[in-house]
Amino acid sequence: MAAASATTFSVGSATSFGSTKSQSKAFVAKYNTRNYLRNFSGLKAEAFVRCESESSFLGRESAAALRQSIPPKAQIEKQRCFNHVQPQASYKVAILGAAGGIGQSLALLIKMSPLVSSLHLYDIANVKGVAADLRHCNTPAQVFDFTGASELANCLKGVDVVVIPAGVPRKPGMTRDDLFNINANIVKGLVEAVADNCPDAFIHVISNPVNSTVPIAAEILKQKGVYDPKKLFGVTTLDVVRANTFIAQKKNLRLIDVDVPVVGGHAGITILPLLSKTKPSTTFTDEEVQELTVRIQNARTEVVEAKAGAGSATLSMAYAAARFVESSLRAIHGDADVYECTYVESNLTELPFFASRVKLGRNGVEALISFDLKGLTEYEQKALEALKPELKASIEKGIAYAKKETVTA
């Protein structure tokens, strides 16, 4: 059995109001990363927390409620007082495209993680203001900003996880080819820099179309001689987050209990939620399966229409990406039970890339979980076969682009 891993940090502060000075005691929380995370902004957060003294950050009522939820043994341990923040687990995360709609929200969520000691923010412009804003948040991670191609290498030095939300969303009047050409070029340049400066890092690709940009990234890494299929991920967590949310609402389930594997790809019909594999076990009518599947596949449109063309799903995407970053860091830190759905090089089907549940470990993907694809319903089996031609075409388009660009260069 693997040894337990933990992260400890403390926060203490002093505030003055007129002539009265209030000195808060330190709040010390210990996180056992062997368990699923439960308190990190609704992401998977640590299950074991030790509150050693009252914190002004939490407030009296919140601190009292937290203390009551902890086993008595943890409450009677000797109190400690620290006036600094000192995480035991120190990991560096870089966000490439940090000044964008997804990047800013994602940076805030990652700044809140106790597993992160250093957050590197990169963009071609406007990133200094984002970094200055985040530095005012009293959480452990230090924030550094990097602007433009000349600073990209320094941003990536020694980084453990690289997240790539850089790119543009599809706008009215923009064809799929327009979107592809713009974002493919952006991803290509950024992945080349990753290959040169932190080839051992986990790479999380968010830039759309993910079905094509991940194969592009794989080809670039191969050309650089540093490709490790276990460490390249297309972030499809938003599809899982949406499936869990919609199904919990539809069936009146506790959201924290719901888990739905989503396989295939990350666009339209290539997104296939396996409702028959929902946990807890749930029964759906044929009409509910059709309704929920279509809603999950087209959920982005709900947001685009609600924003009246002024944006797309930036907040929910940032939330989902932060969850995947947290899971990756937990795996790197030694948590033995980390599972997420993600788009990776795969042999579960005849397609070279496929989204499925995987087991994450210190070196990336430890196992592809084939169980979810067994015993599918007739509806799911037909949907799986239907998505393959479209996903195959997207994969081939990405590979062809990367090879063409190499020849041109």
CATH at residue 234? 3.90.110.10
Three-state DSSP at 406 gives: helix
Check: CB of residue 322 under 8 Å from CB of residue 106. Answer: yes
Determine, yes or no, domain membership for 7: no
Burial of 357 (C-beta count, 10 Å sphere; 0-12/13-18/19+): buried
Q: What are phi and psi of 143, to 5 degrees?
A: -115, 130
Residue that the structure tokens 């974002």 belong to: 183
User: pTM score, two decimals?
Assistant: 0.80
**Which residues, listed in sequence order, are joined to residue 205 by a DSSP beta bridge?**
164, 234
Check: CB of residue 220 under 8 Å from CB of residue 401. Answer: no
The end-to-end CA distance of the chain, in Å, is 50
Determine, yes or no, domain membership for 71: no
Query: CA-to-CA distance for 220 and 214, rounded, in angstroms?
Result: 10
Query: CA-to-CA distance for 96 and 190, rounded, in angstroms?
Result: 8
* Tens of each residue's pLDDT in the chain, 409 residues: 334 444 444 333 333 333 333 333 333 444 444 443 444 444 543 333 333 333 333 344 444 443 454 445 444 443 443 334 444 568 999 999 999 999 999 999 999 999 999 999 999 999 999 999 999 999 989 999 999 999 999 999 999 999 999 998 777 677 778 889 999 999 999 999 999 999 999 999 999 999 999 999 999 999 999 999 999 999 999 999 999 999 999 999 999 999 999 999 999 999 999 999 999 999 999 999 999 999 999 998 899 889 887 888 999 999 999 999 999 999 999 999 999 999 999 999 999 999 999 999 999 999 999 999 999 999 999 999 999 999 999 999 999 999 987 766 5
Determine, yes or no, domain membership for 29: no
Check: CB of residue 301 under 8 Å from CB of residue 294. Answer: no
Our measurement of the distance from residue 36's CA atom to the centroid of its chain's CA atoms, rounded to an integer in Å, reads 15
Instruction: Find the largest Cα–Cα distance for the chain.
Output: 73
Determine, yes or no, domain membership for 187: yes
Contacts for 374 with CB less than 8 Å, ≥ 6 apart = none
Our measurement of the distance from residue 354's CA atom to the centroid of its chain's CA atoms, rounded to an integer in Å, reads 17
**DSSP H helical ranges for 165-285:** 176-197, 210-224, 237-251
Determine, yes or no, domain membership for 28: no
Strands 262-264 and 161-164: unpaired
The total number of structural domains that make up the chain: 1
Determine, yes or no, domain membership for 330: yes
Determine, yes or no, domain membership for 27: no
Active site residues: 266
Per-residue confidence (pLDDT) for residue 211, from 0 to 100: 97
Determine, yes or no, domain membership for 37: no
Q: Which domain holds residue 397?
A: 91-405
Beta carbons within 10 angstroms of residue 144's beta carbon: 18
Three-state DSSP at 331 gives: helix
Check: CB of residue 375 under 8 Å from CB of residue 275. Answer: no
Our measurement of the distance from residue 46's CA atom to the centroid of its chain's CA atoms, rounded to an integer in Å, reads 16
Per-residue confidence (pLDDT) for residue 8, from 0 to 100: 40
Per-residue confidence (pLDDT) for residue 37, from 0 to 100: 41
Beta carbons within 10 angstroms of residue 321's beta carbon: 25
Residue 10 DSSP code: E
Per-residue confidence (pLDDT) for residue 12, from 0 to 100: 38
